[in-house]
Amino acid sequence: MNAFRLLRHLGLLLALAPVSAFAGTARIYVTNSAGDSIHVIDPATNKVVQEIRDIEGAHGIAFSPDGSRVYVSDEVSSTLDVFDRKTGKLVKKVTLSAHPNNIAVAKDGRIVVGIARDPGALDIIEPTNLTLTKSVPVNGRLHNVYVTPDSKYAVTGSIRTGIITVIDLATEQPAWELKLDKGIRPMAIEAGPDGATKRIFVQLSDFNGFSVIDFAARKEVARIGLPTAKGEFETDGDRATAPSHGIGVAPDGKTLWVTSIPNNAVYAYSLADLTLSGEVALPSLKLREHGAISAVANWVTFTPDSKTVYVSNAGLRSVSAIDTKSMKLIAVIPVGEVPKRINTLVIPDGPGSAAISAEKRASLH
């Protein structure tokens, strides 16, 4: 069996394995978009335990299925930068078709990269030789890309065109599109009981809330605005076009967490009926002759047990750790300049075990 087929087989085993089989060590990775490093947090202590340096344009971050590699989209060099997880050393820079944005990894190890330049494309990198094998044209430059829990599709979104494109990963061709009336920002994907994609939750330009997409019906079925802010917070004017810019489904499949920059808060919704179940205020910066300044909440990720959610504070050089049961802020962890993309890696105990990201772990429930 060649390496690529082995990775595909491993991905299938991960999909069928019980969640209890994935006890191990978790690490929270955050890219510092205006710095030159990536910080790695140990959720057991909420301390930084590793720093990957000398990457000036780090943006999206994901991991190989076996946990040996860290993949980062590099906006400065228009490459996919591959790092050894243990040493933090650069392994290879894979040249992309154009300037990248977010990335994701399929269960068979293929890396998909959203290209943020017109006319728009999804680059696909083969994991064994780390080479770009295909660039799939899409309608509009891409802001984000995700892989569905069953790894059958890549889901992409364009701010400029307001189009969600779903790409079949078996054929590496677009399967269907959905156009909304606003630009497509971050998304989160919910799996049904059979592991197939059930709904996509989509944040939109100029909207403090999220849209709900029925995946099978291929249509928007709801649009939910976040609560009115409890106070006023100063923020960078450029953030006004993306007031809600971070969203995630908890690994236990019970809650949806949504950030708000103007509200300086994160909200929890029951996934069953999308009713609001909690709100957590985020830290703010207080300066003389200024009102409270927003943390500029961005992306979210979770510990594998869903007990803690982490939010990158792009305006405060930090990451917030929140206890999901008590809805309390339990730590604010200093990181680098303008932290944004954030992801969880689970490194299972025992030789030969495979690692999974928070997104893939969520798909196992």
Per-residue pLDDT at 289: 67
Last residue of a domain, one of 195, 225, 255: 225
Q: DSSP secondary-structure letter at 285?
A: B
Last residue of a domain, one of 225, 246, 276: 225
The CATH number of the domain holding residue 212 is 2.130.10.10
Does some domain include residue 40? no
Indicate the burial class of 45 (C-beta count within 10 angstroms; 0-12, 13-18, 19 or more): exposed
Domain that holds residue 209: 55-225
Per-residue pLDDT at 12: 32
Same domain, 138 and 211: yes
Per-residue pLDDT at 363: 40
Does some domain include residue 87? yes
Per-residue pLDDT at 359: 53
Does some domain include residue 351? no
Of the candidates 224, 203, 220, 176, the one whose C-alpha atom is nearest the C-alpha of residue 298 is 203
Same domain, 83 and 202: yes
Number of domains, the chain: 2
Last residue of a domain, one of 161, 192, 225: 225
Does some domain include residue 1? no
Same domain, 95 and 213: yes
Does some domain include residue 68? yes
Token pair 């909304």 is found at 180
Same domain, 215 and 75: yes
Does some domain include residue 172? yes
Same domain, 195 and 236: no
Q: Could you read off the pLDDT tens digit of each residue along the chain, which spans 365 residues? A: 344 343 333 333 333 233 333 457 999 999 999 999 999 999 999 999 999 998 989 999 999 999 999 999 999 999 999 999 999 999 999 999 999 999 999 999 999 999 999 999 999 999 999 999 999 999 999 999 999 999 999 999 999 999 999 999 999 999 999 999 999 999 999 999 999 999 999 999 999 999 999 999 999 999 999 999 887 888 775 677 999 999 999 999 999 999 999 999 999 999 999 999 999 999 998 776 677 889 999 999 999 999 999 999 999 999 999 999 999 999 999 999 999 999 999 987 755 445 556 555 444 33
Could you give the CA distance from residue 244 to residue 316 in angstroms, rounded to a whole number? 17
Give the N- to C-terminal CA distance of the chain in Å, as an integer: 29
**Angle at 205 (CA atoms; ends 200, 209), nearest 5 degrees:** 55
